[in-house]
A and B are shown apart, each in its own frame.
Chain A
Amino acid sequence: MANRKPTVLNRRSLLTGAFAVSALGGAALARSPQPPDFDPGNRFRPDEADAPAPVTGERYVFFSQEEAALMAALLDRIIPADDLGPGADEAGVTFFLDRQLSGGFGAGQSYYMQGPWSSGTKQQGYQTRLTPAQLYRTAIAGIEKHAQAHYGKSFADLDASQQDAIVTALEHHDVDLNGAPRDQFFSLLLTNASEGYFADPLYGGNRNMAGWKMLGFPGAHYDYRPYVAQHNKRLSIPPAGIYGGPAWENGK
């Protein structure tokens, strides 16, 4: 039976737990003493908080080579390289998306996926039986077919203006995506591109925190108290990710 009555954690495990690595630092801790915390029964292991697992490897695991080439080109039209920052692919967005689609997100793990199925109104939202991974796979094939039919070439081999014309057609839902819902695909594509460009680098995108640097967003900092009253002042806080910052790694 699921009887998980938590009991009070003792002082020692408190110190070996997350507080020991608190980003608040000693001074802040001294100023605001922490309340007792609890042992969540069978789940708690000191030093083993539910930290996120960084992505590993370099090869694509979801996309085929052809799919990856198409996605890299497509994402580079959504977020092109310019003087402000790298393009999406260079920032790792294709790789990020590959890892997302190969995991729980791609599988639509949290979605309600029971029938009966019906397309519904715009206000009723996502109604396709395709998971995000299947949606991408189906749509990629549709985009490639469209490129071949209109230009006689792979999407990845078209020049930027031809690719832009296809993205515009995608946006207007004018590309047949092999039956996949066109509005769903395009809005998911834009969201996922932004996620890959701006999410914590531990997920494989936002390489060198390029997305954050472009904005001046300091990332995973946790204490801005010294800056609250500094109105209208450009702050130069080097960005940090959950697993550190480029500055810490290359000693800059």
Chain B
Amino acid sequence: MSGTTLPAVDVVLVGFGWTGAMLGQELVQAGLKVLALERGAWRDTSNDFAVTFAQDELRYYYRHALFEEPSQGTITFRNTPSQHALPMRELGSFLPATGTGGAGVHWNGQTWRFLPSDFKVRSHNEQRYGALDPDMTVQDWGVTYDDLEPYYDKFEYLCGISGQAGNLNGEMVPGGNPFEGPRRRGYPNPPLDMTYSPELFRKAAHDLGLHPFTAPAANMSQPYTNWLGVRLGQCTYCGFCEKFGCGNYSKSSPQTTIHPVLLDNPDFELRTNSTVLRVLTDSTGKRATGVLYVDDQGNEYRQPAEIVVLCAYAYHNTHLMLLSGIGQPYSPESGKGALGRNYAYQVVSGVDLFFDKDKVFNPFIGAGALGVAIDDYNGDNFDHSGLGFIGGGYICLWNTNGRPIETQRVPPGTPKWGAKWKRAVAENYMSSASISTHGAVMSHRSNYLDLDPNYRNIHGQPLLRMTFDFKDNEHRLSDYLTDQAARVGKAMNPKQVHAKYRKGNYSIVPYQTTHNTGGTAMGADPSTSVVNPYLQSWDVPNLFVMGASVFPQNPGYNPTGTIGALTYWSANAIINRYLKSPGPLMQT
């Protein structure tokens, strides 16, 4: 087989984004020699997104300076198994990262915990509402909120999340989210200061009897030193946050929370420009021997390791498993096979609000996670009887940015070009706002990932094929959330409300979220999961998988809070159980 064989390490991490950095730090601290292979370039604040040039809308968002390039490899996409999948030739619906720090560099920092009931979606909903649609392949996680609570806490204190607790050990705290699971202590930082339009939302929601709170943010409300001793500065509300790197060391990212300590550790090594092609296994197929990777000159290397961890981002993890021939690929016809099964996403919608000119919102004063939210319509926080769907989502008035290419709100009926368009853009810039809904996607029999038979990446490997569409549950859920958002919007007394319902088939063209989930689902049953509740492969016990690919379905929140908690939960199992007796952490 090709490739120079390199000296062995204890652990090889595939990908060096959020999960790679968290796990790397935990494992070197436990005394292991850890190597991270990152396909992209080295990235740091002062060189790649310094305050002197980070605020460049064209370069970073419209020309995708920090994102993965489809030219290197992309996915193919179709809505249904009967369609012919075609390559996603340019980025759109989601913006996967490449480079040190991964998407942690250019995320918003909206940092949530899932609800206790989210981890028991099947059993909880069946118990309360009866049998679910048989095509809905949702399942319990095999881990509970209480299991994860200490690890949520650990991630939040790594990041320095700014927020207001709502449930402290069962005691309700005014101003916080009353629906959240109990937390052991408050957030490490107070909530961010708030701009005008989210305050109007807070008041309107409150007057309607709802429970608004300042959303939890990985943007620092004050300078912060985390438990690794790494310091972050105060957020300046620059409004170039999501899709951009923070020039200020104010947004939690691998760079601003872990790298300074981890990269200084002699037991840790990072190799950038190193793309892992597959996981290598021995002749039994039950043990990973390392990985095969290629550098940017095209040289191939075999990197032996005792433990292999996939930290390559949700659908790349699934892709690597498929390319490595580990696990049984899912078939929508038979329903058999767990690998690639339960791919899910997020269903989002918006409600635009247009106010009279005497309202001045200064939308450019923003941060990635600056906003006021309600959680009254998330998960099972409300009675779903007769509604025809399960799950929900949060509703939030985010004030992330007023970047003028991206954020042009015009009333419905405005032409797309010409003098009327220009006037509408200019007149509404200061006096409009949007409420977003952030809906759950329940897994479905015909939404899945597998290898494409026709298209290949630059390494000659088959592309990953994504088959995905919004189903009835998503449409009903999203319409319901949009109605509720519009109701709060109206209560804010704008002159016009424009509810933009999510209609029709899922499209990969407009940006929605980079919240791809599933494909290597976790669970307690190996016939419907790829990894056990400790994120360990059922088939290859020295292979672990981190990230949202392990979500069996996607709740109505952004994923990274839970990704962080799961990573620390798994790290704990690796260090305290696996290392002592390497082998399956759960018997099949």
Spell out A's residues near B (CB within 8 Å): 1-8, 17-19, 21-24, 28, 31-38, 40-41, 43-44, 49-52, 77-80, 82, 84-85, 104-105, 109-114, 116, 118, 120-127, 164, 167, 171, 190-191, 193-195, 198-200, 203, 211-212, 214-225, 227-235, 242
Contacts and interface: CB of A to CB of B under 8 A. Distances in A.
Given A18-B247, A222-B55, 10 more contacts: A1-B271, A31-B234, A33-B223, A49-B52, A111-B70, A112-B90, A114-B87, A123-B507, A216-B430, A222-B247
B223 A31 contact: yes
Nearest to A230: B362
B419 A235 contact: no
A125 B90 contact: yes
29 contacts: A2-B297, A7-B263, A18-B52, A18-B247, A23-B52, A24-B51, A24-B248, A32-B233, A35-B256, A37-B45, A38-B259, A38-B260, A50-B47, A52-B56, A84-B422, A84-B426, A110-B71, A112-B89, A120-B84, A121-B505, A167-B418, A215-B425, A218-B364, A220-B55, A222-B51, A224-B239, A227-B365, A228-B193, A242-B52
B271 A222 contact: no
B494 to A, nearest CB: 14
B81 to A, nearest CB: 14
B87 A222 contact: no
A80 B89 contact: no
How many B residues are at the interface, by size bracket?
A: 35 or more
Contacts of A232: 196, 359-361
Contacts of A36: 260
Do most interface residues of chain B lie in helix, strand or loop, or is the interface mixed? loop
Nearest to B83: A121
Do most interface residues of chain A lie in helix, strand or loop, or is the interface mixed? loop
Interface of B: 41-48, 50-59, 62-64, 69-71, 73-74, 77-79, 83-84, 86-92, 193-196, 199, 223, 230-234, 236-240, 247-250, 256, 259-260, 263-264, 269-274, 295-297, 299, 301, 359-362, 364-365, 402-405, 408, 416-419, 422-423, 425-426, 429-430, 454-456, 505-509
Given A4-B270, A80-B419, A222-B51, A123 B508 contact: yes
A124 B364 contact: no
Contacts of B361: 232
Contact of A34 (B231, B270, B299): B231
A79 B422 contact: yes
A225 B237 contact: yes
B419 A82 contact: yes
Contacts of B63: 104-105
Contact of A51 (B53, B240, B264, B508): B53
Contact of A190 (B90, B299, B417): B417
Given A112-B70, A225-B234, A43 B47 contact: yes
Contacts of B42: 4, 6, 40-41, 43
